[in-house]
Amino acid sequence: MTNRLDGKVALITGSGGALFDSEFGLGFGGSSAFRFCQEGATVIVSDINDDTGQQFTEELREKGFNAHYRHLDTTSEEEWEKTISWIEKDFGRLDILVNNAGISGTGNILDTTESDWDKTNDINSKGCFLGTKLGGILMRKNNFGSIINISSAYGIVASKASFSYHASKGAVISMSKAAAIQLAPYKIRVNTICPGWSDTLFTSKLDPDRVKTIIDTVPLGDWIPADQIAWGVVYLASDESEWVTGTEMVIDAGWTAQ
């Protein structure tokens, strides 16, 4: 523990979907919540999975950390407004926001339905928009903040499938750059992280042949541990990156360099 986030208040969306003994780990959100706690932050875990989210928060508290739970459907502006109001009332400020909640998407453009498109983009890109907007409004009051939006290597490069997912994650990168410029006068930084093929619940559903095909394309030769993504989030949340804004941190084991 180095207290890199000592005294800061952080909200991490989509961070309550797994427990410490989960077979596939904590994911990006849960791993980030744990590392934030270790670094001294007050952490607000949020999710739509209340049972697991509350239990995970209790596990963090049992370890001696200052953790709280909040139900949050990131596609709802009303829920965002209530959550931000609650944070201001109970904590007085919001220093860090990690827009992590997201879903995967499959299918090429010819197979993608309107409902597929709406669901993927509502959660992955609209959720980031609402969080950045409402979180930015509170951060502006204190003239300080760091917003980290979780995109994907698929927001940078294309593939033969995942059309709506590519669109949603590409939007996250572009909107984050615009937000970084527009929020800079208030000392609010906005950056994205673009994970590559990572060891999460999403990738656990792939069949063994697909897994081998993917791993063979990764220069470092394996899945990226979710904890490695979390350390990138810690860096962008900390004062170590106080001059870093409007950029994307690619953590992909060399995959997009090919």
Catalytic residue status for 165 = yes
pLDDT in tens, 107-128: 999 999 999 999 999 999 999 9
Task: Quote the pLDDT of residue 23.
Answer: 81
Quick check: 204 pLDDT over 80? no
Q: How confident is the model at residue 206 (pLDDT cuts 50, 70, 90)?
A: confident
Quick check: 141 pLDDT over 80? yes
Q: How far apart are the first and last CA of the chain?
A: 36
User: Of 69, 165, 186, 235, which one is the catalytic site residue?
Assistant: 165
Q: How confident is the model at residue 1 (pLDDT cuts 50, 70, 90)?
A: low
For the whole prediction, is pTM greater than 0.95?
yes
